[in-house]
Amino acid sequence: MSFVTLMTPARFGSLNLKNRVVMAPMTRSRAGVDGEITDIMVEYYRQRAGAGMIITEGVYPSENGKGYCRTPGLVHPDQVTGWQRVTDAVHAEGGTIVMQVMHVGRVAVADNKRPDAETVGPSAIAANWKLFTDNGGGTMQPCVVPRPLDGHEIPGVIDEYRRCTELAFEAGFDGVELHGTSGYLPAQFLSTGTNRRKDEWGGSLNGRLRFFVEVADAMAGVDGPGRVGFRVVPGNPYNDLHDDDPEETFRALLAALNPLGLAYCHTIRLPHGPVDNERLCRQAWNGPLIINDSYSPEEASDALELGRGDAVAFGRLYITNPDLAERIEARAELAPTDAAHIYDPGPEGYLDFPTRSV
C-alpha cells in the first residue's frame, strides 16, 4: 500500500498539486455567444481554487472545433485576456489550473458555430446524436455529416492544438490537458467506427493512433511535456463512439505516448464498460494517473492507498461544494449534488452554493 491520502501534495511533471483532490472538467455553458469569458466564470473558478488542480471545461482551439453553445474558446486575443482573469483569480487563491483543449470534430451542429466555420472529422460519418442550441428558445438538433479532412489538412489541425497551447500559457495556465475521449476528434481518429480512412491517418492501428500522438507531441513541444496531460476513457460510447477492440487500441496508444514523458493520464472508470480502465491505464501508462467517476471521498482515499491512482478527480460534487477539498480535509458534511441549472446561462446553479464558512 502507498498510504497516500487525498491531502498529500503531489508533483505531476511540472505541475504542483497542493493536494490530490482534482476538479474534473465539466461543461457548464456560461461563456458568451462567441466563446468569450464571462465575469461569472472568473468567480466560479476562483471559488474552487482549493482543489489540488483544476481542469477547466473543454475549450475549443479553433472555430471549426466548437460544437456546443456557450462553450469557451481560446482562438482570439480577447479570449486570452479573458482567460488571464481566470488564471489570475485562481493563482491569487494559491491554486493550480490547467486548460482542457477540446476539438469536437463531428459532434457539432451549424447553429452553434460561426457562419464561416465548418464541421470536420476523419471520415464522412455523422454521429447519431443531438445537441442543444439556443436558437428558437432552445432546440435539439442532429449532428451533421462532417467533411472528411484531406491528408494535407491534418497537420494544420494539429497546429491548432499547438497554437491553443501557446495561448493557454500566454493566458497564465499552469498546464493543458488534451481531451482524447467522449467521442471528440482525437477519439474519432482512434476508433474503428469513426475512422474509415485508407491513408496514413487510418487504415491500421498505427494509422489510427497517429493523430492523437502527433497532437500530444505538438502540445508538448510548446514548453515541455511536463505541462501537458491527457484524458482517455477506453470503451467510452459517448457521442456515438465505437471501437472494435478498445483494449488493444488504448494499450497501443499508451505505449506510444509513454516516450513523450507527459505530466499525467486522466481516465474515468466505466463500471459497465468493456474495459477496466483504471487497471489498463495503471498497467500500460508509466506516469501519474488521475482516476475519476462518482467517487466518494472515502472511496477515493481507499483507492489512493491501494495505488489504483495518484489523484482523484471529482465532478458533480464540485458543482455544489466549491470548497470540496477543504471540506474533505475537515471531514465536514458535503452538500448534495443539485442537477438543476447545470447548463443554464447565468449565476443560478453556478455561483450560489455557499462555502462551509458562510
Question: What's the pTM?
Answer: 0.97
- Give the pLDDT score at 99: 99
Distance CA 312, CA 12 (A): 13
226-272 pLDDT tens trace: 999 999 999 999 999 999 999 999 999 999 999 999 999 999 999 88
Q: Is the pLDDT of residue 1 over 60?
A: no
- Give the pLDDT score at 356: 83
Catalytic residue among 44, 60, 161, 184: 184
State the pLDDT confidence band at 3, using cuts at 50, 70 and 90: low
Handedness of CA 331, 335, 336, 337 (dihedral sign): negative
The CATH number fitting domain 57-79+98-306, selected from 3.30.565.10, 3.20.20.70, 3.40.720.10, 3.40.50.720: 3.20.20.70
Overall average pLDDT of the 27-45 stretch: 97
343 is catalytic: no
190-223 pLDDT tens trace: 999 999 999 999 999 999 999 999 999 999 999 9
State the pLDDT confidence band at 357, using cuts at 50, 70 and 90: low
**Burial class of residue 244 in the structure, from the number of CB atoms within 10 Å of its CB (0-12 exposed, 13-18 middle, 19+ buried):** exposed
For residue 37, which phi and psi values (nearest 5 degrees)? -80, 135
